[in-house]
Chain A
Amino acid sequence: MRTFLFIFLLLVTSQSWANLGFTTRAGDEINIVVHAAQGEYLFIWLPSEAGPQNSEKTTAQQLSRKGIEVWQINLLEDFFLPIVASSLDRLPDETVSELIDFASKQTGKNVYLVTSGRGAIPFLRGSRRWQLQHPDSPALAGTILLSPKFFVETPDPGVQAQLMPIVTTTNLPIFIIQPEKSPWYWKLDKTIPALQQGGSDV
């Protein structure tokens, strides 16, 4: 295993989080903000196309107090990509797969992927890659998607919207949190069956 790990900062006494990093096989350095917890669950949290939000950090801190460890990652920053939706589409599946593997081996916890908006796409692709590489491992327990964006792009009016191909080729336990006051709420009757097509429980 060529992946090597480095921990460059541990708990700072006045803070409830620590920084952790690892280098992928491709040589990319991934920075992780760890909100540690004693429980058996771990959330890997990727920001949406809006970039990292203060509210996500607050939520992560609250979750860690509930016994759920949260690893916040900002892959757009790690890959020097602009904070736009199309950047999330360009994140390598392999990196997400290696992150799942790293998180599982490092903590021994059940790993859940949590993201919102367009972050769903790299997580679903990375999950599929991880499943191909670890067919017998139960470490990836599921994914929680907040207001996910599954369509390729907003089509021209009158043209049918296309789903990203990964949506129908995903086989995961998936929980969707979808606010009613959103255009995506009205697409659930298309997106949920599409996710189920690959075997996902939604």
Chain B
Amino acid sequence: MFDATNYEKQVATTLPVLLAQALKLLEPYQQIQRKAVKDKQENPQVKIGKKDRFLQPFKGDPVPPLLKLKNLDNKIIDLSDMNGQVVLVNFWASWCPPCVHEMPSMQRLQNMFKNKPFTILGVNMAEDKETINTFLKTKVSVDFPVLLDSDGTALKRWGVFAFPTSYVVDKKGHIRYALFGGLEWDTPDIIQKISSLLDE
């Protein structure tokens, strides 16, 4: 792959061995007599091309799932303690290129609202502290809290489907906007949306 990391390239060299092992593990199941399952469902028509992705009003239950995780300093951060603040909850990982790409703009957004009740919580997906700290020191520097979702529990609770995924929670603690995908966070449209929530 054109964007494969060195680690990915190295792991790819083991693929033939993995595939050969997979074949051996599947072999006994070949003996099982199988019949095609009846299918009355119609195949959904998927629109050709990529969907437009933008920060849009949230269509699900506005009450946020539990988000109570340790940050990099082992301090527990609980979203429910943040009523009165507008909170951008961002699910990310250092191996996810669009996540990495959008992080500097999130920091700029944080700086822009530094004197307002606005916070970003960067929920990291199951990476270890050392990996995250190295990433923050060498790749992208941010000063908003990074939370550790070590076993993906928060990701599942929040229905995260793609990386990155972001939710904007208003001062009353309700999810108001969300986005599956990356974004430049310091564009006029986003600033206006956050400002409106801060003014409520």
Across the interface, do A175 and B32 meet the contact criterion of CB distance under 8 Å? no
Q: What is the number of residues of chain B that contact chain A, defined by CB distance less than 8 Å?
A: 56
Return A115 CB to nearest CB of chain B, in Å. 12
Residues 133 to 156 of chain A near chain B (Cβ within 8 Å): 135, 138, 141-142, 144, 151-156
Q: Is A10 interfacial (CB-CB < 8 Å)?
A: no
Contact (A59, B56) CB under 8 Å given A53-B1, A112-B23: no
Q: Across the interface, which residues of A come within 8 angstroms of B34, CB to CB?
A: 131, 171-172, 199
Q: Is A38 interfacial (CB-CB < 8 Å)?
A: no
Q: Across the interface, which residues of B come within 8 angstroms of A110, CB to CB?
A: 27, 30
Q: Is A5 interfacial (CB-CB < 8 Å)?
A: no
Q: 1/0 per position for A103-135, CB-CB distance to B under 8 A?
A: 000000010101000000000000011011001
Contact (A43, B19) CB under 8 Å given A128-B36, A156-B59, A171-B36: yes
Q: Is A177 interfacial (CB-CB < 8 Å)?
A: yes
Query: In the complex, A84 Cα to B51 Cα: how many Å?
Result: 13
Query: In the complex, A161 Cα to B165 Cα: how many Å?
Result: 14
Return A54 CB to nearest CB of chain B, in Å. 9
Across the interface, do B19 and A59 meet the contact criterion of CB distance under 8 Å? yes
Query: In the complex, A135 Cα to B181 Cα: how many Å?
Result: 43
Smallest Cβ-Cβ distance to B61: which chain A residue: A158
Across the interface, do A131 and B36 meet the contact criterion of CB distance under 8 Å? yes
Contact (A173, B46) CB under 8 Å given A144-B23, A158-B159, A181-B95: no
Return the contact of B44 from the options A128, A144, A152, A199 (Cβ within 8 A).
A152
Q: Across the interface, which residues of B come within 8 angstroms of A135, CB to CB?
A: 35-36
Residues 15 to 37 of chain B near chain A (Cβ within 8 Å): 15-16, 18-20, 22-23, 25-27, 29-32, 34-37
Most buried by A among B20, B26, B44, B159: B26
Across the interface, do B180 and A169 meet the contact criterion of CB distance under 8 Å? no
Q: Across the interface, which residues of A come within 8 angstroms of B165, CB to CB?
A: 157
Across the interface, do A166 and B39 meet the contact criterion of CB distance under 8 Å? yes
Smallest Cβ-Cβ distance to B4: which chain A residue: A55
Across the interface, do A157 and B30 meet the contact criterion of CB distance under 8 Å? no
Q: Is B58 interfacial (CB-CB < 8 Å)?
A: yes
User: Which of A11-19, A26-34, A62-70 is found at the contact surface with chain B?
Assistant: A62-70
Query: In the complex, A85 Cα to B61 Cα: how many Å?
Result: 30
Return A153 CB to nearest CB of chain B, in Å. 5
Q: Across the interface, which residues of B come within 8 angstroms of A86, CB to CB?
A: 46-49
Query: In the complex, A183 Cα to B149 Cα: how many Å?
Result: 14
Across the interface, do B58 and A158 meet the contact criterion of CB distance under 8 Å? yes
Across the interface, do B44 and A158 meet the contact criterion of CB distance under 8 Å? no
Query: In the complex, A112 Cα to B59 Cα: how many Å?
Result: 41
Return A196 CB to nearest CB of chain B, in Å. 12
Across the interface, do B37 and A144 meet the contact criterion of CB distance under 8 Å? no
Contact (A164, B20) CB under 8 Å given A138-B30, A142-B29, A157-B58: no
Q: Across the interface, which residues of A come within 8 angstroms of B1, CB to CB?
A: 50, 53, 55
Question: Which residues on B are within 8 Å of A, measured CB to CB?
Answer: 1, 11-12, 15-16, 18-20, 22-23, 25-27, 29-32, 34-39, 41-44, 46-49, 51, 56, 58-61, 93, 95, 125-126, 152, 155-156, 159-163, 165, 167, 175, 178-181
Question: What are 12 A-to-B residue pairs whose CB atoms are below 8 Å?
Answer: A55-B1, A114-B19, A152-B46, A153-B46, A154-B161, A154-B162, A156-B59, A160-B159, A168-B37, A170-B37, A179-B11, A183-B162
